[in-house]
Chains A and B, each alone.
Chain A
Amino acid sequence: MTILKLAVRNLLGGGMKSWLNAVVLSLAYVTIIWTQGLYQGMDQQVSRTMIDAAVGGGQYWVEGYDPYDPFTLQDAHLKLTGILEELAQSREAAPVLIVQGTIYPNGRVQAALLKGIDPEQKVLMFPSSFLKDTDSEIPALIGSRMAQMTGLRTGDTVTVRWRDVHGTFDAQDLQIVQVMATSVQTIDIGQIWVPLKKLEEMAGVENEATIVIVKEGLVQADDIPGWTFRDLDFLLQDIKQIVRSKTVGASIFYAFLLFLAMLAIFNTQVLSIFRRRKEIGTLMALGLTRGRVIALFTVEGALHAILAALIGAVYGIPLLAYFVAKGWPLPAGTADSFGFALSEKLFPTYSGGLVVGTTVLVFIITTIVSFLPTRKIAKLKPTEALRGRLS
């Protein structure tokens, strides 16, 4: 209790110096929590966007379908029956037929996946409604990246060639009715969305699909003959992997920030001991044992961490709350560079675990780095300390 009282006196008596140390340390607290919150937010945002726009609550895949192997597409379609048909009719599931095709934009040849989707679907937050009630023979919807890659714009027509289920090649012009702005690259790059019924006609099938996307919250994990259910863990694994790799980078940054903050504290403590060696000698002469001197300096360091946490809370909470509400705008054009669906604004999320964990971690490390230099005091002779020397 005495040591704590003395440490508080020293801290408060230190005036500007104490406040400056605490403010610097508080910057480390807030920056660490802020950056980690951004990555947590990114993780959640990416998952959310993918669920909303691409994967829904899970998908049934026709057996043999492999999105990474276009050759599987030829046979990857099956008639909707039973529960899948019921779900599709009640719009709790969105069947998607996928056909390999080739387009010829501006005299070039480019492979594209033709994806047929019900314009009235309610499963995905996807602008499929542009595909209904148009005068076009084959209305098509593409993403902004696809538009950029092909040079196609709304209103343009482009020839598409595909092979139907009988192995016959056919070709026709389709018209771009809308270029959608989406952050989800998996529904954008290399893909052309057309009405499901139209694609069924083109492919020579009826009421068939390659995948069936079920509505979020609708748990349909039962096996259906000919179909395999893919849950969100499976469908988001690539994205999660990328986010994890980004998080590793963030963790290195986190450790670096923590290291810098600790270096500052360590340096402050070393300087403090050097500068206060005469005071240490006086404390020893007045009857403080070496152990209690070490405890005093260590508690002083720990109090810096507590003061820093309080200061950090004063300006950090409003600052972080602002970013939670308003988001953090990414520099123009950088959203695509992350390799996954990211909107132009990042909305950080700060969990209790992150805030408490960071605070406790910084507190513990600050206490340790406060303790380390004070071990030197244990070797100090009172007479040498009083003369202002360090042995």
Chain B
Amino acid sequence: MDDSVLIRTVDLVKIYPMGDQKLIALNRVNLILRKGEFAGLVGPSGSGKTTLLNIIGSLDSPTQGSAEVLGEKVETLSHRKAAELRNKHIGFIFQTFNLLSVYTVYENVEFPLLLLNLSPSQRKKAVIAALEWVHLADRAKSKPPQLSGGESQRVAVARAMVKRPDLVLADEPTANLDADNSHHILDTMEDLNRELGTTFLFSTHDQKVIEHLRRKISLVDGRIANDETVGDENRRKRP
């Protein structure tokens, strides 16, 4: 496989049983994503965006076809191997932030590093750096219920980025944010993509996110309907 290829799906199919019926969420999806991309799966609800994101993130497995992520075939991964792949190489950002409410901001960001068995000093250095990327170093001791929506999502970004993953998967990351916070978060992620070379793959139907994407993959009824690279002239200009 080409070294620059991070994700490759071949004839990917996902079918959910719905009683006697079957729901085809993904229908022969073929996709290649390269390192350093800032891409998005775009489409209406039910188009298969989140399903594809979950399979790429090894949270789910395909019914047919193949999904190769960082050289690992998701459909053949054991639970343990899938967990290891997520732990070491993939960061997740969720629509509802999914912060651990009993932990402080610092502890939330530190969590993935605890699983990597880094030393306390290494963890501290990485957590402080991650909080500085998202401008939340001063809120390290706060707990999630004390944060605004924008701040919570910035913590989620820091948590996803703290281990310097190869890939960040963001599922509707701005759905619960206002316009200002949405652009702020997206600007942060763009900066991280540029500075650290981290690959970002979004699932979204939010126009604010779409304006930031450099590649737009449109899904309709579980199929890729369009896959286009967006030039800088067509992307949102920073104020």
Contact = CB atoms under 8 A, between A and B. Distances in A.
Nearest to B50: A383
Given A13-B103, A285-B86, A290 B79 contact: yes
Contacts of A281: 98
Given A2-B115, A381-B60, A383-B59, A289 B80 contact: yes
B79 A287 contact: no
Interface stretch (A4-12, A100-108, A246-254): A4-12
Interface of chain A, helix or strand or loop or mixed?
helix
A36 to B, nearest CB: 36
Contact of A284 (B59, B111, B114): B59
A286 B54 contact: no
Contact of B102 (A13, A291, A381): A13
Interface string B97-119: 01011110001000110110100
Contacts of A204: none
B57 interface: yes
Contacts of A9: 102-103, 107
Contact-residue size bin, chain A (C-beta under 8 Å from the other chain): 20 to 34
A206 interface: no
Given A383-B60, A386-B59, A284 B83 contact: yes
B166 interface: no
B95 to A, nearest CB: 10
Given A284-B59, A383-B60, A386-B59, A289 B114 contact: no
Nearest to B171: A386
B37 to A, nearest CB: 21
Contacts of A382: 59-60
A44 interface: no
Contacts of B60: 381-383
B11 interface: no
Contact of A10 (B86, B102, B112, B117): B102
B205 interface: no
A18 B84 CA distance: 31
A386 B79 contact: no
A287 B114 contact: no
Contacts of B102: 9-10, 12-15
A278 interface: yes
B181 interface: no
A229 B57 CA distance: 84
A284 B103 CA distance: 17
Contact of A386 (B98, B100, B103, B107): B98
A287 B94 contact: no
Contacts of A14: 102
Contact of A278 (B54, B92, B98): B98
Given A10-B102, A279-B100, A386 B87 contact: no
B130 to A, nearest CB: 14
Nearest to A15: B102
Contact of A288 (B83, B88, B103): B83
Interface string A285-325: 11111110000000000000000000000000000000000
A286 B115 contact: yes
A6 B98 CA distance: 17
7 contacts: A278-B98, A282-B94, A285-B92, A286-B112, A287-B87, A288-B87, A289-B79
Q: 7 shortest A-B CB distances, which residue pairs?
A: A287-B87, A13-B102, A282-B98, A289-B83, A382-B59, A287-B86, A285-B92
Given A286-B112, A381-B59, A382-B60, 19 more contacts: A2-B115, A9-B102, A9-B103, A12-B102, A13-B102, A279-B100, A284-B59, A285-B57, A285-B86, A286-B92, A287-B86, A287-B88, A287-B112, A287-B115, A289-B83, A381-B60, A383-B59, A383-B60, A386-B59
Interface of B: 54, 57, 59-60, 79-80, 83-84, 86-88, 92, 94, 98, 100-103, 107, 111-112, 114-115, 117, 159
